[in-house]
Amino acid sequence: MQKLVFGLVVCTVWFLTQGSAMAASGTAMGVDPQAEARAKAETRLLVVGSDIFIGDRVVTGASGQVQIKFDDRTELVVGPNSSLLIEDYLLREDGSAGKLALSALAGTFRFVTGGAPKDRYLIKTPTGTIGVRGTAFELYVTALRHFVLQLHGSTINCNERGDKCFILNAMCELGEVSADDAVVIGDTDDVTGAERARLRQMFIYAVSQRPLLREFRVDRAERCLNKPPSGGGADSLSDPGVFVPPDNISYNMKLGLEP
């Protein structure tokens, strides 16, 4: 009888710990085709209402897009041709504290913080890190560098070694991070010509927020790249490296981009 009771206790504890480990971190509120979550044991096609778990790698195709809302009201948009890993999440069912740790591997993203303490957020890219201090920003990531477009609040941006950092704290301020360096480019109003056209390809949601659900939109974000440039002469943009803009013609036309 004691062995039976002990066995039942062990089974109960196992199921409870497995339930906590697999607790959903967020929910896909809006999904366009060509979006999936890849975990160690399976690949799941994402649809509206799909749960997102710690360890999921969210991957989109040329016409894919996922709008994720986490339990603390943090909002994340994974744009077309993009890949992002959910490494850790701060609200677990067992009550333990953790960070919202994301690895933006490639592509274009929008991030808006929720109700958690701001020092618990950490976003990594192949070339650096982004610390969040209550904010909304857009991110474009390649293997060689990433670019940050500040919308509200502030971010602390560092290269891979952590020896070069800068802070963005003004709306429409732009920064660039490579493995060896981290520099503030300046206000998007000062970026003109071909480089401004490149920015419009990188930060597609600052061009048009129409593809987003209303709660994922950021007030006045579109002024950053739709206002006529001032021609003030901001520092030149570096070649982002492997550049993979959205290549679905209908998606580009919807955003007013060249096909």
Q: Structural domain of residue 216, as residue ranges?
A: 2-255
Structure confidence by residue, pLDDT tens digits, 228-259: 777 655 556 887 876 555 544 344 434 444 33
Minimal CA–CA distance to 190: which of 237, 231, 147?
A: 231
Q: What is the CATH number of the domain that holds 196?
A: 2.60.120.1440
Number of domains in the chain: 1
pLDDT at residue number 136: 96
pLDDT at residue number 121: 87
CB 113 within 8 A of CB 79: no
pLDDT at residue number 73: 87
Q: What is the pTM of this model?
A: 0.82
Which residue positions in the chain have pLDDT lower than 50?
1-22, 247-259
CB 224 within 8 A of CB 188: yes
